[in-house]
Chains A and B, each alone.
Chain A
Amino acid sequence: MSAHAHVSQLPRTAHTGRVTQARVALSEWTKLHSLRSTRWSLLVGFLLTIALPVLFAAVTSSHWGSMSPHERADRHPLDIALAGVNLSQLAIAVLGVLVITGEYSTGMIRASFTAVPRRLPVLWAKTAVFGSVAFLLMVPPVLIAFFASQAILSRHHILQISFSHPGVARSVIGGAVYLMLVGIFALGIGAIVRNTAGGIAAFAGIFFVIPPLMNVLPTSWNNAISQYLPSEAGRQVFSLTHGDHSLSPWPGTALFVGYCALALAIAAVLLVRRDT
């Protein structure tokens, strides 16, 4: 270390110009892929997205013979294929929170905002880079989950559905889109809360605590309100069919995108205003 310590002249370098959104995005890409937490979260998300449907398909196949007609009618091939999404969303959401709160907990945010003092380019770059990575890495596992679960079920000649069947491709790819959007929503929450534990708790509250609490309401209220919750609207992104008391796929998707945009908008306003 000290071998170089006598050097006290700072070499000059060309001034390469201004901060641009594209440069900040490249920087955020470096930040994202250079952390272990990124690799672990994405790996867990990847594996869960595949493992659960495979398990679900195997169990369904082996019990098919002893299932009542009612139980059989309750099983849908796409529910099985996308069962993993419900679990892997947690890994993606935790990573989404960490992408921003990790900077606050370590103090990195001061370095980030010193390099990009306008701050918003950092938020947009994080959103775009993390969103793209989450989507691109979640497309293969939803496809694998679909074809693997179908292969398992086909050995028993049950619950077969073609990828080209209307809405199937949209639903399967919708699984990856949903995971991306959940990650972006979580990133927005993280930027608002600025604390890892708080961000994860807020996310879990919105997605896992509020929905069952709605059952406390009178049924007519529950039916009227629940479909507009982020978790329920988001579910429509990867649903093939929808019930009487849920939004249809495109309005549901649009509403969920709206929630993500709202979280980011609040985060953006706070990001510019608050002290670091």
Chain B
Amino acid sequence: MIEAHDLTKDYGDKRAVDGLSFSVRPGIVTGFLGPNGSGKSTTMRLILELDAPTRGEVTVNGKHYREHAAPLHEVGALLEARSVHTGRSAYNHLLALAQTHGIPRRRVEELIDLVGLHDVARKRAGQFSLGMGQRLGIASALLGDPSTVMLDEPVNGLDPEGIRWMRNLLKGLAAEGRTVFVSSHLMSEMALTADHLVVIGRGRKIADTSTKEFLSQASGNVVRVRSPQAAELERLIAGPNVTVAVLEPGLLEVHGLTSAQIGDAAAAGGVALHELTPKEASLEEAFMDLTREDVEFKAVELEDEEAAA
């Protein structure tokens, strides 16, 4: 369980995280979504108290991270930035972390096997590929058998098989009742993995909703219409909340009406239709829509401030 309240972080003049409040529940995979530079990694550093918030607070399992007597049993974290000494072997890296909590050596070996690093465990981590480094990071995160798992862009650098493995692992961890919080800038990946989404842009929360709901909201009313009488149809369906984009001669994309409404209007006006396709917005587009709104909101706010001044 992770609970953030009004979490805010400034770096100099730049506000990286802006009044973020959310909670991450156990038993499901919660996706933490936002474009690069939107404040995801900063938020995770604040959760681990590697950085101190400018305002607000965040707790893990009811306590500030620093107050836990055995933090690795509470939270296992993979940060986006590498957190491994390049001169040390994977085995010794994990062992050093394990020893702070009295975690036995056989657990270290178990994790090395789990993430598939057995053959390179004695090699220096500096020689690891991105994917191997990522697996080592995941092994560090799971070392303490934590009740909360927090991973920043975990599929970065993994091959397709590794990505599938990660997906199953995350779902498995959630199914065991753990809290799983995973960041990504890839909507498509989150659509497959996450049950719930916290979406941020420019450090602010844009959405906090189930993935299912997010997708259905996002789908909106976008319909692709192909007609030999496109201009006639455009006239028939015109309305205050309707926008029509001409993709190519005879092919329209209509926003603001359902396919049924367009079909009915065409029948009533005697216009032939060759195609009528309600478009499912992809998660990617939904995400773009949301972040665009956020950008516009920011611009308006700025104008208001200028007007007030």
Using a CB–CB cutoff of 8 Å, the interface residues on chain A facing chain B are: 1-13, 15-20, 23-24, 26-28, 30-31, 34-37, 102-103, 106-111, 113-118, 273, 275-276
Contacts and interface: CB of A to CB of B under 8 A. Distances in A.
Given A27-B97, A275-B52, A11 B72 contact: no
A106 B84 contact: yes
B255 interface: no
Nearest to A111: B83
Interface string B140-162: 10101100000000000000011
B69 interface: yes
B71 A115 contact: yes
Contact of A110 (B50, B69, B104, B107): B50
Nearest to B102: A16
Contacts of A4: 113-116, 118
B140 A116 contact: no
Interface string B178-191: 00000000000000
A15 B146 CA distance: 9
Contact of B85 (A10, A108, A117): A108
Contact of B110 (A8, A11, A113): A11
Contacts of A30: 92, 95-96, 99
B79 interface: yes
A20 B100 CA distance: 7
Contacts of A24: 100
Contacts of B84: 106-108, 111
A36 B88 CA distance: 8
A16 B11 CA distance: 37
Interface residues of B, number: 61
A15 B70 contact: yes
Interface of B: 45, 48-52, 65-66, 68-73, 75, 77, 79, 81-89, 92-93, 95-104, 107, 110, 113-120, 132, 140, 142, 144-145, 161-162, 165, 168-169, 172-173, 176
Contact of A2 (B51, B65, B161): B161
Contacts of B142: 10
Closest 3 CB pairs of A and B: A18-B69, A34-B92, A8-B168
A17 B85 contact: no
Given A10-B176, A17-B70, A115-B71, A3 B88 contact: no
Given A17-B69, A31-B92, 13 more contacts: A1-B117, A1-B118, A2-B116, A8-B169, A10-B176, A15-B73, A16-B103, A17-B101, A19-B100, A30-B95, A31-B88, A103-B85, A106-B85
B68 A117 contact: yes
Contacts of B69: 17-19
9 contacts: A1-B120, A4-B118, A8-B168, A27-B99, A109-B83, A110-B81, A115-B97, A115-B101, A117-B66
B82 A34 contact: no
Contact of B65 (A23, A103, A117): A117
Given A5-B162, A27-B96, A117 B70 contact: no
Contacts of B116: 1-5
A111 B86 CA distance: 13
B102 A17 contact: yes
A102 B169 contact: no
B10 to A, nearest CB: 11
B73 to A, nearest CB: 5
